[in-house]
Structure 1
Amino acid sequence: MTGGTVLCVDEEGSVADTATVVDDETEFEPLTRTTAAGAREAIRDHPVVCVVTEYSLPDGSGLEVVEALREHAPQTPCVLFTDARPGEIDTDSFEELIVEYLDRTLPSAGEELAFVVDDLVAHSAQVGFLAPDDEASRLAALAEYEVDELPITESFERITDLIADHFDIEVAFVGLIEEDEENFLACTGADWDSLTREDTICTHSMLQEDVMVVEDARTDDRFSSNEQLLNLGIQFYAGANVTTPDGHVIGQVCALDDEPRQLSEPERERLQKYADTVTEILELRQSLRDARTATAEVEP
């Protein structure tokens, strides 16, 4: 049993050396790819705890690999392990990417790579959760809905009932992601009120633009050691963003099951439509409440 998978991306003649360092000097298992395209495919298909990539690849650059990783799994650390000097690396198109740089020509490069990978993965595991870049404004947008004052529970319960029936799954819920926890406004198939953000897959899902699907949490390195998820019996997860008109992700609409599942593209689109309906209900209820408040203020 390893501590997870490290994706090693390098040219054909060098990738085996990088993989050997990971295999021999760390607790992780290497997965190798020799092109940027192959690395992007591996990122989509395999849960990884870290990516180690050369800058110069036959069909692109290592920063393209990092960009793909950030889109798919923003919390996963990455190391640019290269003989390219910092001044030779074109960062103009990748200004917001955060990546560790390590010179592979150093005499102790292998030892340093093993140390850096171990340290990055350990630090990543210690972080409770990653917040989106707009966290402050996102929380302000959520607060504006005054959810406790809105008559939305029955509407959301109908939505979760529909999701559970349509997808034939064990649990469906509508959750709003507060500062430290996710509060469930409606939940079909389970009696859940809230979970801390570090225990929810939604913490990861909210960072992705598209519907996030975890076919089997037990085999996904990001969640396989999450005791709370194991205790709740969650294996399959699909989550769609509840997004305000201003673009702030304030919650999730999710489908869960206690066995591995897959979700087709039409099914993903359907789940997102349910999430969009949640936003529409919130907007409508808040508008009606604001109108009533305005009317009450002008009445004698």
Structure 2
Amino acid sequence: MSRKILCVDTDDRVGAVADALDSEETMTAVQATTVEEARTALDEQAIVCVVTEYELADGSGLDVVRAIRETAPQTPCILFTDVSPNEVETDSFEEVIIEYVNRGLPDAHDRLAFIADDVINHSAQVGFLKPDDEQERLDALSRYDVDELPVQESFDRLTDLIASHFDAAISFIGLLEEDEENFLACHGGDWDSLTRENTICTHSMLQEDVMVVEDIREDKRFSENQQLSNLGIVSYAGANMTTPDGHVIGQVCLIDHEVRSYSDAQQRELEQFAETAMEILQLRQSLLEARSLEVAQ
């Protein structure tokens, strides 16, 4: 699968940068010569990396980085410029992987594809969206002793019911831990876990309402995700499992192997199933704590 790299540079330089990246058979260069053109490309295409000059006709390379932060802060960026690093202010861009490459070096263009491949792979390993309350959310999740809670049979029955109700290929209940999503129950699939950067739930948990992706192949956030493709995922719907104090710790989700939409009524029903799953988890945890207190006394 060819990965799209956005090249943002001046009219007289952008072609050479694109040629350097196109020399790698797994990469396809998408050209832009202004910040505005770059924003359009980011909106319309599944870009996995950006290579940008610092000084552009209508702004700077950091304006391109700001555009990326709005929707995909994990996307790696390379500043390919002869502007000195001391003149580039990047302190406020810690959420985006930024690599600096001095284009004035003799082998800079020859090394560009290698560097792009390296930062893309690094981003895939460490980059994913996180909610603002990530640490508090993880603390809330840790208070549920899932290994000691007898929820497996209840959740198996619930995912069976959900899949039947929506006539879906796969239904699962997953908890979003620090680096991965662990599935407590999964009807229709033999799934144990997915890394956070590969699961759609990493995005879904950031929405208050149900997130529906009718066709991930047409969604630039997921169309280049080989793991999702290997699992045969085409459509997705996910609803939050929210603790009483407002932290999202998991998702109740529907997966299909074909394009699919969900009505407002169906989305509300999925939310109710997620509320039920959270209530089961909360009740079992309360019973476990009560029994522990009785033993202690």
Same fold per superposition (TM over 0.5): yes
The 5 A counterparts of 1:1-300 are 3-25=2-24, 27-70=26-69, 72-91=71-90, 93-124=92-123, 127=125, 139-147=138-146, 148-149=148-149, 154=154, 158=158, 161-162=161-162, 165=165, 169-178=168-177, 182-188=181-187, 190-192=188-190, 194-197=192-195, 201-202=198-199, 205=202, 209-210=206-207, 211=211, 213=213, 215-217=215-217, 222-224=224-226, 226=227, 230=230, 232-239=231-238, 242=241, 244=243, 250-261=249-260, 273=271, 277=275, 280-281=278-279, 284-285=282-283, 288-289=286-287, 292-293=290-291, 296=294
Contact 1:202 1:252 in 2 (8 A): no
Contact 1:205 1:240 in 2 (8 A): no
Matches of 2:229 and 2:14, distance apart in 1: 35
Contact 2:21 2:27 in 1 (8 A): yes
SS state of the match for residue 119, structure 2?
helix
Q: Pick closer, same or farther for the CA change 1:294–1:169 going to 2, 3 Å.
A: closer
Please report how far the alpha carbon of residue 151 of structure 1 lies from its aligned counterpart in structure 2 after TM superposition. Answer: 5.2
Please report how far the alpha carbon of residue 22 of structure 1 lies from its aligned counterpart in structure 2 after TM superposition. Answer: 1.1
Q: Pick closer, same or farther for the CA change 1:201–1:99 going to 2, 3 Å.
A: same
Contact 1:26 1:118 in 2 (8 A): no
Contact 1:10 1:35 in 2 (8 A): yes
Count of residue pairs the alignment pairs up: 290
Please report how far the alpha carbon of residue 15 of structure 1 lies from its aligned counterpart in structure 2 after TM superposition. Answer: 2.6
Contact 1:160 1:173 in 2 (8 A): no
Please report how far the alpha carbon of residue 79 of structure 1 lies from its aligned counterpart in structure 2 after TM superposition. Answer: 0.7
Matches of 1:22 and 1:136, distance apart in 2: 38
Matches of 1:75 and 1:92, distance apart in 2: 16
Contact 1:55 1:61 in 2 (8 A): yes
Q: Pick closer, same or farther for the CA change 1:91–1:243 going to 2, 3 Å.
A: farther
**Gaps in structure 2 of 5+ consecutive residues:** none
Q: Pick closer, same or farther for the CA change 1:107–1:174 going to 2, 3 Å.
A: same
SS state of the match for residue 234, structure 1?
coil
In percent, how many aligned pairs have the same letter? 39
Please report how far the alpha carbon of residue 175 of structure 1 lies from its aligned counterpart in structure 2 after TM superposition. Answer: 0.8
Q: Pick closer, same or farther for the CA change 1:62–1:279 going to 2, 3 Å.
A: farther
Query: How much is the aligned-residue C-alpha RMSD, in angstroms?
Result: 4.4
Matches of 2:280 and 2:13, distance apart in 1: 54
Please report how far the alpha carbon of residue 247 of structure 1 lies from its aligned counterpart in structure 2 after TM superposition. Answer: 7.0
Please report how far the alpha carbon of residue 6 of structure 1 lies from its aligned counterpart in structure 2 after TM superposition. Answer: 1.0
> TM-score under structure 2 normalisation?
0.71
SS state of the match for residue 237, structure 1?
strand
SS state of the match for residue 186, structure 2?
strand
Contact 1:53 1:62 in 2 (8 A): yes
SS state of the match for residue 23, structure 2?
helix
Matches of 1:107 and 1:272, distance apart in 2: 58
SS state of the match for residue 118, structure 1?
helix
SS state of the match for residue 206, structure 2?
coil
**Gaps in structure 1 of 5+ consecutive residues:** none
Matches of 1:80 and 1:275, distance apart in 2: 46
Matches of 2:81 and 2:51, distance apart in 1: 9
Q: Which amino acid in 1 is paired with 2:97? A: I
> TM-score under structure 1 normalisation?
0.70
Matches of 1:90 and 1:151, distance apart in 2: 51
SS state of the match for residue 114, structure 2?
helix
Contact 2:77 2:96 in 1 (8 A): no
Post-superposition Cα deviations, 1:155-179, rounded to whole Å, max 9, x if no partner, equal 785477457745x642222111356
When structure 1 is superposed on structure 2, of 95-104 and 208-217 the one drifting more is: 208-217
Contact 2:251 2:274 in 1 (8 A): no
Q: Which amino acid in 1 is paired with 2:252? A: V
Matches of 1:292 and 1:72, distance apart in 2: 44
Please report how far the alpha carbon of residue 153 of structure 1 lies from its aligned counterpart in structure 2 after TM superposition. Answer: 5.8
Q: Pick closer, same or farther for the CA change 1:59–1:128 going to 2, 3 Å.
A: closer
Post-superposition Cα deviations, 1:218-269, rounded to whole Å, max 9, x if no partner, equal 9956423x3x852x432333445545567765333322111245679x6997
